[in-house]
Structure 1
């Protein structure tokens, strides 16, 4: 079982710090990270009612430390997830990370508002016969059948970043980390970098991630 409160050794911290440095070297502006079986080592089934402390015990320390390292390097970070309780994820981030770091992390979950917005966009795209991916004002938007994977979540985060910081994030400046190979394939098809997070992920895994990133 992972533990979100476990402190890394200097050697372990160096692994994620080096990876975060590679993100900036590669020109990655947005690190999008899945929740279930990626940040945490279990699948929450979309709703969690077992308490925040128990959920925190399932946080993978290496993934937690990667989030913090990326923020410190100036990379935008987001949790993109089918989980429905965005407020719970935000509370979890506040528990496992310094508050000034946690508040900088975007969370796009399958909230009722988000799903309603996607349905409305799908209805609109059906009416004008435009489905798929389009770039509007530098922001990549996905409608219709292309909400598959985490693409609609990523698009929503990109729009928030644009609104908050007046920064445009291009598709090739995004890295998705997710356990689901289908989400990885869809992200690559849409022009992002994407790495699959295996069940055995640990600090040493970031050596391989860094090598792949800089190929």
Structure 2
């Protein structure tokens, strides 16, 4: 399949103000393009993608402080995509699954936040990856990070959960990943997904470029 160029970068100014009608129109248009392209799963990284900082994998300064770093454009994208029937997932190396859930509940309507799948680098998740890769379950294996193929192990876990919950099978070309890490973007593209690298200053206007590249 034809994938979005993984080296395509976005660099627009961000802001925390309530989005204008024009800004919301950009989100709506991009989500409409996702639907037109047949996308069923919007997978979004957390650090430096949904939020504008890197949390370090473990955050101990409180949910409220972290929620202040959520990018309004990403918040509105996740809400709109969910409202339009897309599955939305957070796929992240961050370890605190519960914290991300609480952050989403702070910035989104709870009915939307509760629908978003979250796959973080929890202990259970990492141990499952060790087990599936044939690693021994000893102290050495537990201390080593398994090969996650970028965000592919996270996406696979989300796909399994979606199938269990809804009986829906999602094909590789029906998935798009938004991630600040170019390596993760390249790996996603090599697996047949659409993928965009998100730059630090991504904002509503960036969705125009997303849409143009998606529909090429």
- TMscore range, shorter length: 0.7 to 0.9
**Please, which runs of 5 or more residues in structure 2 have no aligned partner?**
1-13, 136-145
Number of aligned residues: 194
1:1-215 residue pairs with structure 2 within 5 A? 3=16, 6-123=17-134, 145=147, 147-215=148-216
Moved segments of 4+, more than 3 Å = none
- Do the aligned partners of 1:19 and 1:206 also contact (CA within 8 Å) in 2? yes
> Once superposed, what is the RMSD of the aligned Cα atoms?
1.5
Conservation of the 8 A alpha-carbon contact between 1:2 and 1:57: no
Q: Relative to total residues, which structure has the larger strand share, 1 or 2?
A: 1
State the secondary structure of the residue aligned to 2:74.
helix
- What CA distance in whole angstroms lies between the structure 2 residues aligned with 1:122 and 1:177? 26
Give 3-state SS (helix, strand or coil) of 1:87's partner.
Answer: helix
Q: 1:78 to 1:112 in 2, by over 3 A?
A: same
Higher relative contact order (CA 8 A, sep 6+): 2
TM-score by length of 2: 0.87
Segment of structure 1 superposing worse, 8-17 or 88-97:
8-17
Q: How far apart, CA to CA, are the structure 2 residues paired with 1:17 and 1:48? A: 32
- 1:127 is aligned to none
TM-score (structure 1 length as normaliser): 0.87
Q: CA deviation at 1:7?
A: 2.4
